[in-house]
């Protein structure tokens, strides 16, 4: 295999898994299943269902813009109140103006994923969630962008040092950074190692579109809204996002899903997974086998991050010792592992920041192993819709609690008191008066508290 590979040579169809992809001017095409994968802002869009995933991200971006518009309107209305101080008015006005300007800047940056037609109302977005994980939205990692390309030198440098320590004497030539986020670690590794090809892989278009522009020499200006601003001048900070130098040749950005990989088997001699294990909804032992398949013989896998597993089954929420055992069982040499700490999102404009204790490992592929099963996000009775929906315990419990909740919510009419509502429960032989009052009060407290949060 050539040392100077074009990115095309490491790609495979994420739909039929093994078929090579042919490059065209504005898309990639599968030789076998004839699927077409477009370029979005110059980045290959390599999701198994490219049209569906693009529509999902477009809907999420539309929701982001609508949320910013609503926040701007609320802030402007609050700033017009007569019973607030001048300082409060200044803060609210500053935030309102920044939200409006931020939306315009995002619109320019993410024009390739903008809806071609007027978007859906916000309540419709909230009612019908897209298939992408709800906790992995378009702007979920917005703070990481500022860390990577504005003020996060200490954390960025420490992350690079962790990976460099994991690489030991290994000199990467074909490197993959899986879950690369906004790309700073991948950029640093590419610029400070001998890698001829570095693939920067993530599933979030906001992060990769921004990273591609920054690493090509552009300066992007976006607003940081600190979680706990240090003062009134830090409630909205227009940050300049830029790289020290344009990336040298060989840094490539790829949008896709790790669990339906568009990457050919054995294409890389190095795989780096920063903060990836804790966000994937898949068994860890299956992930180990996926990493194994991507590596060439003798290739190295370096990982760091937390071990807060994204699966509900307690038998799959492994400790560090169990992880080491699973890695070795997936065709790798016994990993060298260590714990270390690093700063995490310590913005100079915010009082919010912390130090993270992370678990790191470095291991070498010693043999091929059987491929993991094809990942299925949802069972067939959801996907196809022609099979009975099983009455799972979780569904039964939710149905019971939802019926009770819906019933008492229907009693809220602006006239009944909490005690009046509780008496209705007594009349229906559902609860005693004391039980009904306590249950309704607790639920109303949660809803009221929630209504007061931003």
For the chain, give every domain's residue range.
Answer: 7-44, 51-127, 142-364, 391-452
As a residue count, the chain comes to 454
Contacts of 439 (CB under 8 A, 6+ apart): 431
What is the CA angle 243-246-251, rounded to 5? Answer: 105
Q: What is the 3-state secondary structure (H, E, C) of 147-214?
A: HHHHHCHHHHHHHHHHHHHHHCCCCCCEEEEECCCCCHHHHHHHHHCCCCEEEEEECCHHHHHHHHHH
Q: Which long-range contacts (CB under 8 A, 24 or more apart) does 430-435 make?
A: 430/404
Sign of CA pseudo-dihedral 317, 300, 1, 22: positive
Q: Are 167 and 270 in contact (CB under 8 A)?
A: yes
Closest by CA to 336, choosing from 303, 367, 368, 305, is 303
Per residue of the chain (454 residues), what is the pLDDT tens digit?
Answer: 334 568 988 999 998 877 899 888 899 999 888 899 999 999 999 999 898 889 889 989 999 999 999 999 999 999 999 999 999 999 999 999 999 999 999 999 999 998 665 444 444 333 333 345 555 678 989 999 999 999 999 999 999 999 999 998 899 999 999 999 999 999 999 999 999 999 999 999 999 999 999 999 999 999 999 999 999 999 999 999 999 999 999 999 999 999 999 999 999 999 999 999 988 888 999 999 999 999 999 999 999 998 888 788 889 999 999 999 999 999 999 999 999 999 999 999 999 999 999 999 999 999 999 988 887 767 777 766 788 989 888 888 888 888 888 888 899 999 999 999 999 999 988 889 998 898 889 889 988 888 887 6
pTM for the predicted model, two decimal places:
0.86
Terminal Cα distance for the chain, rounded = 54
Q: Indicate the fold that domain 142-364 takes in CATH.
A: Rossmann fold (3.40.50)
The DSSP symbol for 324 reads H
d(C-alpha 283, C-alpha 289), whole Å: 10
Element (H, E) at 274: strand 268-274
For residue 372, what pLDDT is reported?
87
Three-class SS state of 60: helix
For residue 118, what pLDDT is reported?
46
For residue 132, what pLDDT is reported?
55
Three-class SS state of 295: strand
């Amino acid at each position: 295999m050539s040392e100077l590979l074009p990115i095309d040579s490491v790609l495979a169809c994420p739909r039929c898994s093994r078929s090579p992809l042919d490059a065209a001017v504005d898309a990639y095409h599968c030789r076998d299943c004839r699927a077409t994968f477009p370029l979005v802002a110059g980045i290959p869009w390599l999701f198994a269902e490219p049209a569906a995933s693009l529509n999902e991200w477009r809907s999420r971006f539309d929701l982001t813009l609508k949320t910013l518009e609503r926040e701007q309107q609320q802030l402007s209305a609050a700033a017009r109140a007569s019973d607030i101080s001048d300082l409060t008015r200044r803060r609210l006005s500053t935030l309102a103006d920044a939200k409006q300007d931020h939306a315009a800047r995002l619109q320019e940056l993410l024009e390739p994923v903008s809806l071609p037609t007027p978007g859906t109302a916000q309540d419709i977005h909230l009612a019908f969630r897209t298939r992408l994980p709800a906790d992995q939205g378009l702007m979920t990692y917005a703070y990481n962008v500022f860390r990577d390309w504005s003020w996060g030198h200490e954390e960025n440098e420490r992350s690079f040092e962790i990976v460099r320590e994991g690489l030991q004497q290994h000199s990467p030539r074909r490197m993959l950074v899986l879950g690369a986020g906004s790309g700073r670690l991948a950029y640093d590794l590419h610029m400070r190692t001998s890698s001829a090809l570095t693939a920067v892989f993530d599933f979030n278009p906001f992060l990769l579109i921004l990273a591609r522009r920054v690493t090509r020499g552009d300066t992007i200006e976006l607003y940081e809204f600190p979680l706990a601003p240090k003062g009134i001048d830090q409630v909205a900070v227009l940050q300049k996002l830029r790289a020290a130098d344009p990336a040298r040749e060989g840094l490539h950005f790829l949008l896709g899903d790790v669990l339906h990989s568009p990457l050919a088997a054995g294409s890389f001699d190095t795989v780096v997974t920063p903060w990836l294990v804790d966000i994937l909804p898949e068994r860890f032992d299956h992930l180990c086998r996926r990493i194994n398949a991507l590596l060439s013989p003798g290739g190295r896998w370096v990982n760091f991050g937390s071990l807060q597993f994204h699966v509900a089954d307690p038998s799959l929420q492994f400790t560090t010792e169990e992880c080491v055992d699973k890695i070795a069982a997936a065709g790798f040499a016994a990993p060298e592992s260590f714990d270390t700490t690093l700063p995490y999102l310590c913005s100079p404009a915010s009082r919010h920041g912390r130090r993270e204790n992370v678990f790191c490992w470095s291991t070498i592929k010693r043999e091929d192993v059987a491929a993991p099963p094809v990942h299925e996000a949802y069972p067939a009775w959801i996907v196809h819709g022609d099979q009975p929906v099983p009455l799972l315990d979780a569904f039964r419990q939710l149905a019971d609690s939802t019926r009770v909740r819906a019933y008492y919510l229907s009693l809220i009419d602006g006239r009944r008191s909490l005690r009046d509502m509780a008496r209705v429960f007594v009349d229906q032989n559902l609860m005693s008066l004391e039980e009904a009052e306590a249950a309704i009060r607790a639920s109303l407290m949660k809803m009221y508290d929630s209504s007061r949060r931003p």
